[in-house]
Amino acid sequence: MKLSAEARDILETSMRIHKVDDKQRDEIESVVAAMPDDRVLLYKNVVSNPIGDLPRYSIHIRIQHMLTFVTFLTLAFTGLPIAFFDHFWAAPLNAMIGGVDVSRIIHRTLASVMIFSMLYHMVTITLGPIQQMMQGRFELRRTIIPTFKDIRDFKQDMLYFTGSSDQRPEMDKFMYKQKIHYFAAAFGNLVMIISGSSFLFPEFWATVLPVSMVANFQEMMRLSHPHEALLALLVIAFWHWYNVHLAPGRFPMQWTFLTGKITREHQIEEHFLEYLRNLVELPEERAYLLSQLDARGLDGLDKDEENMPGGSAVEATEGSTP
Amino acid sequence: MMRPLTPLQKIIAYSALLFVFFWTLFGLFTIWLILTEY
């Protein structure tokens, strides 16, 4: 495969960070050279373990996701009958939990856990990069911080989805969609915390805000709390769950939130630049890919030789699957 | 290509999917609530 300038830069940076010796460099270069130019052909010909092959999330991120996941659902479940307490259906729900007073206690306790999870996350995303900087292996483009490349990736992906391009963009560890989702969730958390705290501590907000704003602020918070909750429910139910449960290649469930690992197929398809880093960081991945390309007769394949859809090569070599 | 799920993995994955389905119904219920409120 002939790497793009961007991919080459990622590979060179990763090799420099990991101080690879000449032997390892030759090995990495030979694996890259053996990869077919068509990445569809590449990811359709690797074997993936559905619960994940390559490292993606640390245990801290997984714990934070689990805390957010549990608190989000239970907060929605307890919050709704509180917001609509005078509706006929809310009474039995509140009664099931132990009455609206108990619902409120559960809701506030879970809110504290959610805030703890957010603080825990902030510590992780601060200390993690500091540690990486001290070790000289920090890369801004490997983080969730949006860059101009995301706009280019979005455009290229739309071209691919409308049939105007035959390749998805070479995306990094976090793609544009995940960045939008992440910052939307961070903003939503902030809105819920501020508005929720304005119900619990109105005196506090009255002391820190200008007198002319206090009444309007309380009214705005009273409106934004349930509406932001609804927006979050919609985003989770129709966007996030589509992406991690129903999307082709993810059905019936993406296991990353439990195992912290991503499948090889997914990494190559949507996070190809991160896969290049994997090739530098994981010698066993290099060995696997080289053997797989060799076994399937794909090594050194160029565009002229391919001339067939990704599926054909898969079918032709089905028997050689280990 | 993806290796097939083991029976235990299938139970976990499809249970999660079922859970998500019911929670989506709850989401739709919430939308109905908000829309009928005004």
Percentage of residues in chain A with pLDDT exceeding 70?
Answer: 93
- What DSSP letter does each residue of A187-221 carry, written as one string? HHHHHHHHHHHHHH-HHHHHHHS-HHHHHHHHHHH
Instruction: Tell me what the pLDDT averaged over chain A comes to.
Output: 90
Contact A121, A133 (CB under 8 A): no
- Determine which helix (DSSP H) or strand (DSSP E) holds A261, and give its type and residue range: strand A261-262
**Interatomic CA distance for residues A72 and B5, integer angstroms:** 29
* pLDDT exceeds cutoff 50 at A23: yes
Segment among A41-45, A81-85, A105-109, A256-260 with least mean pLDDT? A81-85
Residue A301 pLDDT class (50, 70, 90 cuts): low
Give the minimum alpha-carbon distance from B30 to chain A in angstroms, rounded to a whole number: 7
Q: Quote the pLDDT of residue A81.
A: 86
Distances from the Cα of A23 to the Cα of A3, A15, A28, A277, A281, angstroms: 20, 12, 9, 17, 14
Which candidate, A193, A226, A198, places its Cα nearest to that of A121?
A193
Please list every residue in chain B whose beta carbon sits closer than 8 Å to the beta carbon of residue A42: none
* Distance, CA of A60 to chain centre: 14
Average pLDDT over residues A142-150: 96
Least confident of A85-89, A106-110, A113-117, A271-275: A85-89
Looking at residue A316, its pLDDT comes to: 36
- Asked if residue A313 has pLDDT above 50, the reply is no
Contact by Cβ (8 Å): A174, A186: no
Contact A73 B30 (CB under 8 A): no
Q: Is the ipTM of this complex over 0.90?
A: no
Q: Which residue type does A237 have?
A: A
Angle (CA) A143 A146 A147, round 5°: 105
**Mean local confidence (pLDDT), A163-170:** 93
> What is the SS3 assignment for A44?
helix
Chain A positions in Cβ-Cβ contact with residue B22 (cut-off 8 Å): none
- Per-residue confidence (pLDDT) for residue A132, from 0 to 100: 95
Does the distance separating the beta carbons of A226 and B34 come in below 8 Å?
Answer: yes
pLDDT digits over A243-280, tens only?
Answer: 999 998 899 999 999 999 999 999 999 999 999 999 99
| Nearest CA-CA partner of B29 in A93, A111, A175, A154 | A93
Of B9, B13, B27, Cβ closest to residue A237? B27
Question: Residue A13: which of A172, A216, A224 has the closest Cα?
Answer: A172
- How far from chain centre, in Å, is Cα B31? 16
Take residue A115 and report the two structure tokens written for it: 């805030």
Residue carrying structure tokens 């030789």: A305
Model confidence pLDDT, tens digit, residues A90-105: 888 888 888 889 999 9
Contact B31 A51 (CB under 8 A): no
Query: What's the CA gap between A33 and A314, in Å, rounded?
Result: 20
- Reported as a pLDDT band with limits 50, 70 and 90, residue B27 is confident
CA distance A265 to chain B (A): 7
pLDDT at B38: 58
| Stretch A30-54: mean pLDDT | 93
Considering only CB atoms, B30 lies closest to which of A50, A233, A253, namely A233
Give the C-alpha separation, A257 to A131, whole Å. Answer: 23
Nearest to B24 by CA among A237, A204, A232: A237
Range A310-318 average pLDDT? 39
Closest residue, chain B, to A41 (C-alpha): B1
Q: What DSSP designation does A47 have?
A: -
- Between CA A145 and CA A132 the distance in angstroms is 16
Q: Is the pLDDT of residue A45 over 50?
A: yes
How confident is the model at residue A315, as a pLDDT?
Answer: 39
Length of chain B: 38
